[in-house]
Amino acid sequence: MTYLFGATPASTDAGALPERALPERALPERALPERVLSEGTLSEGTLSEGTLSEGTLSEGTLSDGTLSDGTLSDGTLSDGTLSDGTLSDGSDDSPSERRGGFTSISDISMHALARRSMSAQEMIAYLLSRDFEDGEVELECDRLLRVGLLDDLALAETLVRTLTDRKGLGRGSIVAELRRRKVDSTAIEEAVEKLEAGDELDRAIAIAQKRAPQLRSLDAVTARRRLGAFLQRRGYSGSVISTAVARALEPTGPVFR
């Protein structure tokens, strides 16, 4: 069958109805809402205050947080230098890092006292090492003294009992330890005065008698010298040492060569 150029062939389906062109129904035009945000953002992406859609703020801040002068939003310059001229490689820790994570001077002082008792001078030195100002440290120590959390006399008395009962130290070593702990000199004198001379001599004799059997392989002169040096290192005075050594090495004691 031959068709004319451009002609549409008839449907070969006998039951098919001829197609009819439907009339075009134009939809009514509706005005689209203008996309203007409350802060003045226009639909084309330009902010009314001068912020461009590509992320550049009119005040010179880029969308990646970098200021136009090269300073990042966290205060770090693009070359890794902080705004105060310090390198951001962690070599200069922040005060809060040096303070062990605490920021309040009261938190730090209470945390320190929870670990062990401290003298007033120890607390001052400790807080100053945490980069607090002199005025802050003075106020905090005054508060601790006022509420009784810092008490040099009580600390001295506690240390005297511990050093005598548990370690068997004499007066000299006790005073040296209290000074090392920066206890107030007046508190040291008051605490040490409570040591009875008789009690100190009894402790020295007990220590010497316990030590003497370990020296029985030595001659009497060497044993006396070493036992005296042993008591001297524990802080006993010369008169106490002489009496204690004589009592520990008397004839009823160990037999020496």
For residue 116, tell me if it sits in a domain.
Answer: yes
Averaged pLDDT, 52-73: 45
- The pLDDT score that the predictor gives to residue 254 is 56
Task: Indicate if the pLDDT at residue 123 is higher than 70.
Answer: yes
pLDDT at 136 over 70: yes
Handedness of CA 79, 85, 88, 89 (dihedral sign): positive
How much is the mean pLDDT over the chain? 74
pLDDT for the residue 212: 93
Q: What is the average pLDDT across 212-228?
A: 92
Q: Are both 239 and 207 inside the same structural domain?
A: yes
Answer yes or no: is pLDDT of 67 > 70: no
Same domain (yes/no): 113, 133: yes
Q: Where are the alpha helices (DSSP H) in 34-74?
A: none
First to last CA, the chain: 147
Q: What is the spatial distance between Cα 75 and Cα 193, in angstroms, rounded to a whole number?
A: 59
Categorize the per-residue pLDDT at 196 as very low, low, confident or very high, splitting at 50, 70 and 90: confident
Number of domains, the chain: 3
**Domain range for residue 233?**
197-248
Burial call 84-105: b when 16+ CB within 10 Å, e when fewer: eeeeeeeeeeeeeeebeeeeeb
> CA angle, corner 137, sides to 82 and 180, nearest 5?
110
Assigned domain for 124 exists: yes
Banded model confidence at residue 250, pLDDT cuts 50, 70, 90: confident
Domain boundary (150, 178, 212) is at: 150
Query: Half-sphere exposure (CA, 13 Å, Cβ side) for 255?
Result: 0
